[in-house]
Structure 1
Amino acid sequence: MQTISILGCGWLGLPLATTLINKNFNVKGSTTQTNKLPILKAAGIVPYIVNIESKSIPTDFLNSDILILLITSKNRDAFQQFIKQIETSTIKKVIFISSTSVYPNSNTEVTETSETNQSPLVAIESLFTQNNTFKTTVIRFGGLFGYQRKPGNFIRAHNIIPNPEGYINLIHQDDCIGILISIIEKDIWNETFNACANSHPKRAAFYTKEMAKVGRLHPVLDPDSDNVYKIVSPEKLISAIGYTFKYSNLMDY
């Protein structure tokens, strides 16, 4: 039975962990908050306090087969130190969760070979993908939504929808989990994938619909917007793992 360590059992990490447990994986999970340890334990997760900016990472947390990194830190130096600890552990396979924010708004479709920003996140991706001690697959998720993360609450400033003629790149929590489990079960490593629904409605139409669902009617479409955007293609992922999105048509969500 494989053991998987999940760094960051929050909005995505906790339901991912419980799904993996139901599939008979042993799961270790981390949080930075002591009061969340009982929640992890009650879910069947072996819980740890882990902060990669701390020099005291529990050695046993990395006594696993696979490591999934689900934290939002952009501290390159902290990740560099953390990687040194991974190198001396039993971890041989890593999934690093990144973001489609690595691509600039080019008003075109972007793929995994498109130009990226010069950003801390891209630099951290490289720390993992260039390391030969373990195999890394990078997943660049689009905007995350689902359950308590309601898209109708994403637009806050003065109820104005910016870039209304741009397009959205979102992915539901259930699809995030389905993709991560497919990567593990199909043993797909040393790859980089974009992961977002393969439909891209215009921001005006999508957010007007979603804001109405949470009682926020009559949003304003920003008349001064430059309408910059990118359309993120998930076709490489779909082809590589044969994945079918549960929430593909975002206008039907």
Structure 2
Amino acid sequence: MNKQISILGTGWLGLPLAQAFIDQNYTVKGSTTSISKLDSLQKEGISPFLVSLTESATKGSINAFLEESEILIINVPPGLRRNPDSNFVAKIQNLIPHIENSSIKNVLFISSTSVYADRLDYPVITTESLPDASHNAGKQLIAAELLLQNTISFKTTVLRFAGLFDERRHPATMLSKRKGIKNPLAPVNLIHREDCIHIINRIITTNSWNHIFNASSPNHPAKAAYYGAVCKKMELPIPDYDYDTISKGKIIDASTMEKVLEYKFIKDLISR
């Protein structure tokens, strides 16, 4: 088995993911868009590469980054909140020829459950549910997923994560500062970073390619009740909600992923 992995994007999730694979004696190549981070990646035992996805080309040491690896993990968020006019689909389209011309056999694309729209009836979303996002970011993720899945020179597994959190970075911190928050009665869909890392590891160790997985904690409390409890535990102000507007939401069902990967979640939603 080839024990080398290339991880495109070594930020909040990608860095501890790389460290987890290093602990399993993998050789890990990690990309960053910042020159200043190259040394810090090297100190963590990661072979660092400067790679940037743009709408016109994939820039940097992309070929050396992919060289001799059979697995590529694409862990690059669309970044459309900061730059709503960005074309993420074009960035993935420019990346694909480099993957095709490399030694990569399997691609794991980290996507998001935002590809599914929120509804008034809180539908249960399974991997058989058709993505139906109405907003730009979700639509671009759907298109990017299809580009990778329809490329026959490598196998692609799409992993759609719910909202990510850990003990230091929790959505409650941001919500506690806001007023008039929408959808207070909608179900919560979150997943702890540690579960994300373990799920990615299971996909690779079980050789589970050409799949689509939804990944969210099996618990789905109402938004207002949940974040109120978390903020109380974190000693933060309780968020203010808009109860005048009807709540929309969804319930992300991860049972297919749990069954195929024989995975059991290790973190609950309140983990402080």
State the SS of the aligned residue for 2:156.
strand
Asked whether the equivalents of residues 6 and 73 of structure 2 are also in contact (C-alpha less than 8 Å), the reply is yes
* Alpha-carbon offset, residue 210 of structure 1: 1.4
* Alpha-carbon offset, residue 223 of structure 1: 1.9
CA-to-partner distance for each residue in 1:201-231, whole Å, 9 max, x for gaps? 1111110011223332343232223210100
Q: Which TM-score applies when normalising by structure 1?
A: 0.94
**Structure 1 residues 145 and 55 mapped into 2: Cα distance closer, same or farther (>3 Å)?**
closer
- One-letter code of the match for 1:33? S
* Alpha-carbon offset, residue 151 of structure 1: 2.9
Gaps of 5+ in 1: none
Partner of 1:7: 8
Partner of 2:101: 88
- One-letter code of the match for 1:60? A
State the SS of the aligned residue for 2:256.
helix
Partner of 1:62: 66
Partner of 1:45: 46
Partner of 2:162: 142
- One-letter code of the match for 1:6? I
Partner of 2:84: none
Partner of 1:76: 89
Partner of 1:115: 130
Partner of 1:217: 237
**Structure 1 residues 250 and 56 mapped into 2: Cα distance closer, same or farther (>3 Å)?**
closer
CA-to-partner distance for each residue in 1:122-168, whole Å, 9 max, x for gaps? 00000011111001000000000003212321315634442111101
Distance 1:55 1:122 in 2: 20
- One-letter code of the match for 2:59? S
Q: Does residue 1:196 correspond to 2:230, yes or no?
A: no
CA-to-partner distance for each residue in 1:31-82, whole Å, 9 max, x for gaps? 1011111111111000011102144342110111100011012511121111
Q: Which TM-score applies when normalising by structure 2?
A: 0.88
- One-letter code of the match for 2:88? N
Asked whether the equivalents of residues 96 and 138 of structure 1 are also in contact (C-alpha less than 8 Å), the reply is yes
Partner of 2:25: 24
Q: Which moves more between the two structures, 75-84 or 174-183?
A: 75-84
Distance 1:50 1:235 in 2: 35
Gaps of 5+ in 2: 79-86, 134-138
Q: Which moves more between the two structures, 237-246 or 219-228?
A: 219-228
- One-letter code of the match for 2:212? T
Partner of 2:83: none
State the SS of the aligned residue for 1:237.
helix
Distance 2:118 2:58 in 1: 37
State the SS of the aligned residue for 2:73.
strand
Distance 2:65 2:33 in 1: 13
After superposition, where does 1:210-249 map in structure 2 within 5 Å? Answer: 210-247=230-267, 249=268
Distance 1:218 1:76 in 2: 38
State the SS of the aligned residue for 1:153.
helix
Asked whether the equivalents of residues 68 and 96 of structure 1 are also in contact (C-alpha less than 8 Å), the reply is yes
